[in-house]
Amino acid sequence: MSQNNSIENLLQIQDPNIICTKVDNSNPDKQVVYAKLTNSLSTCPLCGQSPVVRFGTNLVNVRIPPIKERPVILKLAKQRYQCKSCQRTFSAQTSLVKPHCQISEDTNRMIILSLTKDRNISDIANELNVSPVAVNRVIEKLATQTKTALTTLPTVLCFDEFRSTGHQMSFIAVDGQSHRLVSVLPDRLNRSIKKHFKGNYSEQERHKVKTVVMDFNAQYQSVIHELFPNAKIVADNFHLVQMGLQAINQTRIQLMHHFSKDTKEYRILKHHWRLFLKFYDDLEKRKPQWFPHLKDWKTQEQLVVAGLNIDSTFQHTYFIAHGLTEALRNRDYRHFIQVLNNPGTVSPQLETTIKTYRKYLTLIKNMMACQYSNGPVEGVNRKIKQIKRTAYGYRNWSHFHTRIRIEFTIKITKKKPIRK
């Protein structure tokens, strides 16, 4: 095997018409490879009749994937031809790079692979020796390829919103069973949601939706009944539990502010707030631990009891709120109603939460009768937030929407390290 063939194999150039002639490593910032492209043509591809003659060369600087983190420039001398009959000229072409382009197809594939990972556009452009505009051009080409097929709807939908471009809230719908991305809209207005589902899905298809999981956003309820007549609205279990724990936390903070910062009561309520959010039965009751802010050894149960004994209302609020959240976690509707109807003297924060529970009691009952939650859409939202954070925000909704679809539709198999 000649040295030229070794260079072609190293650069993974599969076209036999490309012959590498020289490699220049004098510049530490880049590698330059010189090559020739010559096709054996007997007739003119334009008119298809007359023979062609060679008509000089056209030098093209092709950017191929880097080697050892150094950009590689392939100075490709394309052979030009002229037809004797029609007098038109043309250049030899190769599968390595498209006509009138200077970015190789291998580099474009590397850009697509990088877009499926948590990386920003500038970082991808710098690594592959292209401009950010070139990366955005690849994103625009992928917009149609990754477009969601608007044909069928799942039986379970999860509704939520997320903050997108320009501090605007956008609507998102996810399949509650397969966790597949269903719809992403630039806003969360009712008219936009109606237009999307009515314009893309038939009435027969919309009747197939049996369950819609959502938080307590009242604006969605009227839209759901209109778009999905057979759907049952289910409250999200995560938000229900979160409301109960927030009531405990707000009550603790309000009580803490009644004491001076150098008092024992303040330090118990301030520095060990996480223990008050744990269910009482889950607290450590046997093994003492050192609490530096109290300068004492106590079990978790002893510390929580010391905090609850500060105020009877806080103590009652703690047990009622945890009774409600534990019933929600276990989806025990009978125990939930029993605690809800006998709250006793609780803090105003928990009273507000109890009123909300009573207002949406039908949705809570539907939640406890099934196993669905907004967990799938919350996971999608977390990844969308990470995409925004990595890119330092987006101004173009089209690019942002396409980037979301790329990361959720193009699946790349993870490769293990090759050790042998």
Task: Tell me the pLDDT tens digit for each residue of 296-353.
Answer: 899 999 999 999 999 999 999 999 999 999 999 999 999 999 999 888 889 999 999 9
- Asked whether residue 156 carries a pLDDT value surpassing 80, the answer given is yes
Q: What is the CATH number of domain 105-145?
A: 1.10.10
Overall fold of domain 156-236+373-409: Nucleotidyltransferase; domain 5 (3.30.420)
Q: Do 90 and 45 touch, CB atoms closer than 8 A?
A: yes
pLDDT at 420: 65
What confidence tier does 266 reach under pLDDT thresholds 50, 70, 90? very high
8-12, 30-34, 360-364: least confident range: 8-12
- Asked whether residue 33 carries a pLDDT value surpassing 80, the answer given is yes
SS3 state at 7: helix
**Average pLDDT of span 242-270:** 92
**2 or 392: which leads in pLDDT:** 392
C-alpha to C-alpha distances, 138 to 120, 124, 164, 198, 399, nearest whole angstrom:
14, 12, 21, 31, 10
List the structure tokens of 23.
């490699």
What confidence tier does 23 reach under pLDDT thresholds 50, 70, 90? confident
- d(Cα 313, Cα 252) in Å, to the nearest integer? 10
* Closest C-alpha to 116, from 90, 93, 142: 142
pLDDT at 254: 93
* Closest C-alpha to 220, from 168, 165, 172, 149: 172
- d(Cα 387, Cα 393) in Å, to the nearest integer? 8
pLDDT at 231: 92
| Angle CA 365–371–376, to nearest 5 | 115
Task: Tell me the pLDDT tens digit for each residue of 350-373.
Answer: 999 999 999 999 999 999 988 888
Contact residues for 342 (Cβ-Cβ < 8 A; gap 6+): none
How does the average pLDDT of the chain come out, rounded? 87
- d(Cα 145, Cα 409) in Å, to the nearest integer? 10
Task: Tell me the pLDDT tens digit for each residue of 304-320.
Answer: 999 999 999 999 999 99
pLDDT at 301: 92
Torsion sign across C-alpha atoms 180, 182, 183, 189: negative
Helix count and strand count (H, E) for the chain: 17, 12
- With b for 16 or more beta-carbon neighbours within 10 A and e for fewer, the 307-336 pattern comes to bbebbeebebbbebbbbbbbbbeeeebeeb
Residue 25 has a CB neighbour count (10 Å cut-off) of 10
pLDDT at 159: 92
